[in-house]
Amino acid sequence: MSNFTVPTRDQVSENNQSIFDNLQKGLGFVPNLYAYFAKNETALADYLVLQNLKSTLKAKEREVINLVTSEINDCKYCQAAHTAIGTKSLKSEAVPLSSMLSLMPWLNLLLLLSLTGEIQAMKLRMNFSRLVIKRLT
């Protein structure tokens, strides 16, 4: 496996330094993948625009998808990053157990988690099927 050099704040453009500062303030750290994108003048900003496009999914729902996908892909870096981000977003929301209605958002997250796992498993089965068919032909 190749090693990549992750740039520090001082090694990127002023525009990317400003983005680093915002990430540091918001997340408490700059993910290595984001820092690597900052080697290019516009890649980090472009990626963040893509990540922040309007969606019907809430931020915590996207994090559930990200975390399940990183678990299935067995990416330790992504697992750690999305666990940290997800934990931070969930801590900001108190869920009283006294009311069943207050549990509905959590049930939706569990359903989303299950669906994401199923979709990822289906992709793996489809890829395996393609591989088998390719080998047979």
- Domain span including residue 17: 1-53
Given 15, 30, 53, which residue is the final one in a domain?
A: 53
**62 shares a domain with 43:** no
**70 shares a domain with 45:** no
The rounded percent of the chain whose pLDDT value lies above 70 is: 74
**128 shares a domain with 85:** yes
Which tens digit of pLDDT belongs to each residue from 83-126? 777 777 666 554 443 444 444 566 677 777 777 877 777 776 67
pLDDT for res 27: 82
Total tally of structural domains belonging to the chain? 2
Instruction: Return the top range by mean pLDDT from 35-44, 52-61, 66-75.
Output: 35-44
**96 shares a domain with 73:** yes
Range with lowest mean pLDDT among 18-22, 36-40, 48-52, 81-85: 81-85
pLDDT for res 22: 95
The model's pTM is 0.56
**131 shares a domain with 70:** yes
DSSP 39: T
**77 shares a domain with 34:** no
Q: Which long-range contacts (CB under 8 A, 24 or more apart) does 118-122 make?
A: 120/68, 120/69, 120/72, 120/73, 121/72
**131 shares a domain with 117:** yes
pLDDT for res 94: 46
Alpha-carbon span 8 to 99, nearest angstrom: 47
**pLDDT averaged over the chain?**
78
**42 shares a domain with 10:** yes
**43 shares a domain with 62:** no
